[in-house]
Amino acid sequence: MVHNNQSGLQRKPFVNEPALERAERLANLLASIVESSGDAIVSKNLDGIITSWNKAAERIFGYSASEAIGQPITLVIPEDRQSEEIEILTRIRRGERIDHFETVRQRKDGSLIDISLTISPVKDAKGIIVGASKIARDITEQKRNQEQISVLAREAEHRTKNILSNVQAIINLSQSDTSESLKEVISGRIQAMANVHSLFVETRWIGAEVSAIAKQELAPYLDEHDTRVRMEGLPTVLEPAAAQAIAVVLHELATNASKYGALSNAKGQIRFTWSRSEDGQLALRWTELGGPSAKAPERKGFGSRLIEGTISPLGGKVLFDWRSEGLVCEIAVPT
């Protein structure tokens, strides 16, 4: 009895395939892989003349195969990088392989792209090096992302140092009679900084509006009729350093007013205004009305020193005017 071993034939479908047909089939398979690759696959001879150019090369560099084949590979090399080709051909002639060489190439429209090159020698049937194959991967987007991450890291480092510097300044300028009250003072001032940072997130760290900072710090004293605290000024965005300083200053003024000034009784009022002065500076004015009579202290208090110490690093100035109807504080800040 004769049995057909069909499973055996399925395992070895090309066992009796003629060598020429097999070579042709493998060549077609290789050509299909090259054409469907997402990377540019290019070959050239030892004179640097392009001999093959796949679809991805057309997409990445902008030249069709008919435009590129027969042209020198320097077609896609920027003027200031022409020497790279001499070095590459020298190494290829020595039989060296070049892996993941990151460089810049030029598209047909003149734009530059970042690419990663892998270059291998091509040998003939006798083992003699006759050219090179190049695989080029467009890494422009990857480079852009890496640069963006680097920029963000540097910005984060700068902001962190700035925050820590401000916190250190607050601690150095804060004093109180007891450790508990000192903790309360420092906590309130740092919270004012934290509040303004939430505004930075909304503007992607461009800065914060003066009105938004003021509403945040004076929120406990605002009412629906705006009778207790009135604010007026044109839309003005402060860059982060100035915004943080103004937030801490307004927190200090409001805290002082709630303990000793206009916000310490039911009839007191606050007027907070801001405008641009003739010299381009931002002029802010804090006016207290209806509170206890304000008297100039014999020596600067902790709050006054904090306000001046916060504004001074910005190149700004502070003027306190203790009037019988209440404190007036004028601040000028360069913007």
Residue 115, Cβ density class (10 Å: 0-12 exposed, 13-18 middle, ≥19 buried): buried
Pair 167, 128 in one domain: no
Indicate the helix (H) or strand (E) that contains 286.
Answer: strand 282-289
Residue 148 counted as domain residue:
no
Pair 45, 123 in one domain: yes
- pLDDT, position 296: 76
pTM of the full structure: 0.56
- Positions in the chain short of pLDDT 70: 1-17, 19-36, 224-226, 299
Which CATH number goes with the domain that contains 24? 3.30.450.20
Pair 319, 198 in one domain: yes
Which CATH number goes with the domain that contains 184? 3.30.565.10
- pLDDT, position 5: 47
- pLDDT, position 32: 61
Pair 64, 111 in one domain: yes
- pLDDT, position 1: 42
Pair 196, 295 in one domain: yes
Q: Which of 138, 173, 197 is the last residue of a domain?
A: 138
Cα 142 from chain centroid (whole Å): 15
Pair 125, 39 in one domain: yes
Pair 189, 129 in one domain: no
d(CA 272, CA 283): 11
Pair 265, 184 in one domain: yes
Instruction: List the domain range (segments joined by +) for residue 75.
Output: 17-138
pLDDT digits (tens, 9 = 90+) for 234-249: 999 999 889 999 999 9
Pair 182, 84 in one domain: no
Q: Which of 109, 138, 167 is the last residue of a domain?
A: 138
CB contact at 8 A, 56 and 38: yes
Tally of domains in the chain: 2
Pair 166, 126 in one domain: no
Pair 177, 234 in one domain: yes
